[in-house]
Amino acid sequence: MKKIEVVAAIIKHEDEILSVQRPHHELDYISEKFEFPGGKIEVGETRQQALNRELKEELDINADIGNHVITVEHIYPEFELTMHAFIVNVDSKDITLTEHISQLWLIKEDIYSVDWAAADIPIVDKLNSIEWQTL
């Protein structure tokens, strides 16, 4: 089974966290699901470098990558995923979606209100269990 290592950004603005929606995909279990933005780590990149690159590509932002929050291991039917999630604080909600079809800024009470991709749910659970002011 194919193994993929990726990074994800928990983008925080004041008391809200960004969720982005994937476009339609042939794999139903990820099609149009919400996720934390990020992507694959390329050869020679650190996790932080990969996340900076992905955020520039996907959201057109230059990010200051913060602390590592959680690493998730998830097995989808076609591949195994290792996802490293980092906090990214931003001063503005001004982003440009280049790969996703929508965005939602969620407060903690609404964190479970979207249809998350399965691999992102452990991140959501972790966020639900902590005070967001500490992020």
How sure is the predictor about 135, in pLDDT bands with cuts at 50, 70 and 90? confident
Find out whether 135 and 87 touch, Cβ atoms under 8 Å: yes
53-80 pLDDT per residue, tens: 999 999 999 888 999 999 999 999 999 9
**Residues contacting 23, CB < 8 A, separation 6+:** 31, 32, 99, 100, 101
Beta bridge partners of 35: 20
Confidence (pTM):
0.95
Angle of CA points 49, 54, 59, to nearest 5°: 130
Tell me the C-alpha distance between 97 and 104, whole Å.
12
pLDDT at 63: 86
Helix (H) or strand (E) holding 45: none
**Which carries the bigger pLDDT value, residue 88 or residue 29?**
88
Find out whether 101 and 25 touch, Cβ atoms under 8 Å: no
1-60 pLDDT per residue, tens: 999 999 999 999 999 999 999 999 998 888 999 999 999 999 999 999 999 999 999 999
Domain boundaries, the chain: 2-134
CATH superfamily, with its number, for domain 2-134: Nucleoside Triphosphate Pyrophosphohydrolase (3.90.79.10)
* Residue 103 pLDDT greater than 90, yes or no: yes
Q: Give the number of other CB atoms < 10 A from CB of residue 68.
A: 13
Residue 134, phi-psi category: left (phi > 0), alpha (psi -120 to 50), beta (remainder): alpha
